[in-house]
Structure 1
């Protein structure tokens, strides 16, 4: 059993990774009082701002960098072409284009955009096609995945609580480890921003559970602390 657990840990470490912002210089900072995050990764630019009518505008460059994508600004600075989408109503701020956060979110097929009382805008941008597959589970949150892509039961499965990404999960049958079955090139956070993994839980489900009713390991990489996890009801 110890050997199986070590194999599970090694497998998960290989599958997990972090994607952070690119192209941000030391001189840049976020706008005072305004925080914008994509999957928990901050979109840092002093060009981010809120308009007089309450719309949040975000640096197109900083947002695109999180996804390792490029954009094109048209002549006259009226439109931006980003991720195969034309975004209009561009506002120039500090000599760089900014766009309404909802337009940017739609361009990357984000699932949700939410705001809180602390002036934080949070974009949940999971891989395209990801949908909610279960309600909230205590100490975990909702479960999201892409059944159409054949991701289940192995995963990835994404945990979401209050519109925010909290974990990434894979499920591997005990029999697969015993027989030495390989699971290669499993999808994960590729193509979307990922915060750093804070903790990992590997739990053996001897009787399985709904959705995967065979003995297996549930492998969770949490992007929040254990204390924060236990507060999820």
Structure 2
């Protein structure tokens, strides 16, 4: 299911008509009105103007569309407020973010987490904590948890991965722009949801994964942030975005 918010105020009438036609086309696909009668499978012609036409470097095409003249807009906070590249999987999102982070000027600052096993009841009775060295824990990448290695630059957009202060707009999914990178805190400005433009400071936090895919409990002390030039489709829910590309690298409408 796709949620579509369309902002038409101040737009050219031709653009408004194109947006309405696109919205109606999406609705017709959802209601099974495109492609004629079928038994659950049908081939749909996608308009050329919404396809990525560069088979050699599709990510470069995405960047040119969503982030044109990005090197000239680094210090313009509003530039990042309503722009994002969306993809279904974290691995693809990471690939896009790494590409844009490399393009971004300035020195990289690397933050490494401190990972440790929690001294709690383990899922398996025969669990041996000695099997899980710090290197193994560092290599774990879990949805909703910052990676062991977090690389940032001043000016990049980031997303908050935990609720810190809901009253002041620091919620899971809030996007910010980095203004200063300290050893113990990161200074940033809120660029989405409530309190846009407000300066804040993000500390390191001790975090544990909430899912049950890992048969033991561990704790990661890291800044609860992730670079977010690109984000997963799930993370985009509730965001106000007007300039978006959707990167479907692999088939997404099949089982699994």
TM-score by length of 1: 0.22
More helix by share: 2
Greater relative contact order (CA < 8 Å, ≥ 6 in sequence): 2
Q: Answer with 1 or 2: which has the greater Rg.
A: 2
More strand by share: 1
TM-score by length of 2: 0.20
